[in-house]
Structure 1
Amino acid sequence: MQVGNARYISATDLPDSLPVFPLTGALLLPAGQLPLNIFEPRYLEMFDHALRGNRLIGMIQPSLVEPLELEPGLPALSKMGCIGRITSYAETGDGRYILSLSGICRFRFLEEVKTSLPFRQAKISPFIADLNSAQEEDSVDREKLLATFRSYLEANKLEADWESVQRASNLTLVNSLSMMSPFGPAEKQALLEAPDLRARADTLIAITEIHLARGFGDPDTVLQ
C-alpha cells in the first residue's frame, strides 16, 4: 500500500510502538482519509513529534467496555485502532493544525508505553493483511451496499455525487462510507473490528438497515 510518498508492504515497514490519539467516535480505516483539527497542547506536541519522525499516529477510541481511567484524564483504550500517516497539514496561525490522516492498517493495542512525553504511546501489533486488502474487493456485495446507501440518502433527503461513487473501488467505497456514517462509538468500533472487507460491508449494511427500520430518517442526521 502506498500512502503519500511512503510505501507500506510488510511488517518491517511499520513500527511496533507509536503515539496514540484517543478520540471517541472517530473512525480511521485503511485507505481512508480522516480530517482533524488539533488544538490541545499535548496533541499539538504529539503531531510535532510525529512530523519530526515517521509521521505515523495511532487513532483509537477510549474503551467502550472498560470505562475506568488508568489515571485521572487517561481512559482505558479499546483493543483495536488504526495507524494513520500525516499526509497533509497546515498551520492556522492561531495555534492549531488542520491536517489529514491517511489510513494504513489496523493494529491491536498491546500495552501502554511509559514515557515522560505529554501524550500517550502504545505497543502495537499491526494487521499486516490490511496492507493487501484490495485483494478482498471482489468479495463485497457492491449492489446491495449501494442500494442500502441510496435508501439512507432518500430517508434523509440527501444527495450524493453518484459519478464519484460509481468510480470508487470497493475498498474505497466500503471504508469511506463506514468512516462517514453517523453511527455511535460502539457501531464505529464494530466496523473497525470487522475481520475483513466483506464483513465490514455486511456490518455496515446491517447497521444501516436496522437504523432505517427504527425510523432513522432524521433530516438533521447527515454523513460526516
Structure 2
Amino acid sequence: MSQIINPPSEIKLFPIRGCILPPGEHLPLNVFEPRYLNMVDDALAGDSFIGVIQPSPSGPSDKPALEKVGGAGRIVSHQETSDGRYLMVLEGVMRFAVDEELDVRKPYRVARADYRPFSQDLVEAHLTPMIEVAGLLDRLHAYFDLVGIETDWPALEQAPLSLVINKTAMAAPFDPAAKQRLLEASSIPQRAELLDNLMQDSLSQASSGSAG
C-alpha cells in the first residue's frame, strides 16, 4: 500500500467468527445476506471500508457482543453474481479498537473506531533477529502437514516472514479465541511467537494422541 489511506472514524462492521484481517493481507468474501449486501452497497458508494470483527460467545444470537479489536479493510475488488451475491476482496489497512457501537438506522452494525493503539500498522514491520527462522519454518512444515494445508514451499521460504506469519494466522484452523490473540499481538515478532506456541501445542497434542 504505497498511497496514504485514512480509514473512517465510523466503520461498518462485518462480524465473522473465526476470521481475522491483519494489516496488508487480503480476505476474499462471498457476501449473500441482505443486510451485508446493503452494507457493501453503502461501502462502495462511500469510503469502501468495512471492519472485519469477531463476534464473542456472549449476547443474543441476532446481535452478539463483539470483540474489542477488529481489522479495517478496504474493498479492492468486487463482482456481483447473477444470483445477487457479492464476491469481493478486502485489503487489510490497520486494526482498530471499538470505541463504541453506534445507534444507526441501518440493518448492519456500525462502530466508532479508535486506530490510535495501532498506528504502527501503517509502517512496514521488520522482524527482529530474536526470531529463530529455521526452527519456525520447520514447525510450519510439520503443522501444515498435520492440518492438511498445502502450499508452495519454495515460494513460501523466499517470502518475507511477516507475510508468512500473517497468512498462516488467517488460514490456520485455530479456535476463535486464539485467532483474536493473533490479531491483537502488538508486533510481528510477538505474533510470530504466539503462532509458534499455538503450532507447537497442536503438534504436541497430536503426538500425545497418536502415542496413546
TM-score of the aligned structures, taking structure 2 as reference length: 0.90
Provide runs of 4+ in structure 1 moved above 6 Å.
Answer: none
* 1:46 alignment partner, one of 39, 47, 51: 39
Deviation of 1:88 after TM superposition, in Å, equals 1.0
2:154 equivalent to 1:163:
yes
Residue 53 of structure 1 deviates from its aligned partner by 1.1
Instruction: Look up the equivalent residue of 1:135 and give its one-letter code.
Output: A
The structure-2 alpha-carbon separation of the partners of 1:183 and 1:158, relative to structure 1 and needing over 3 Å to count, comes to closer
| Residue-by-residue CA offset, 1:130-170 (whole Å, 9 max, x unaligned) | 111x2333454432321110111333565420122023112
CA RMSD across the alignment? 2.0
| 1:136 alignment partner AA | H
**What amino acid maps onto 1:107 in structure 2?**
F
Gaps of 5+ in 2: none
**What residue identity is the alignment partner of 1:122?**
A
Q: Is the 8 A contact 1:152 1:217 kept in 2?
A: no
Aligned mates of 1:53, 1:142 — CA distance in 2: 42
Tell whether 2:4 aligns with 1:7. yes
The partner residue of 1:193 within 170, 179, 184 is: 184
How far apart, CA to CA, are the structure 2 residues paired with 1:200 and 1:120? Answer: 29
Match of residue 25 from structure 2 = 32
Counterpart in the other structure of 2:89: 100
- C-alpha separation in 2, matches of 1:58 and 1:208: 27
**2:128 corresponds to 1:135:** no
TM-score by length of 1: 0.85
Match of 1:202 among 193, 197, 205: 193
- Does residue 56 (structure 1) correspond to residue 49 (structure 2)? The answer is yes
Query: 1:195 aligns to what SS in structure 2?
Result: coil
State the one-letter code of the partner of 1:125: D
Distance 1:112 1:159, change over 3 A: closer
Equivalent residues of 2:8, 2:47 under 8 A apart: no
Structure 1: gaps spanning 5 or more residues: 219-224
Count residues in correspondence: 206
Q: Shift of residue 7 of structure 1?
A: 2.9
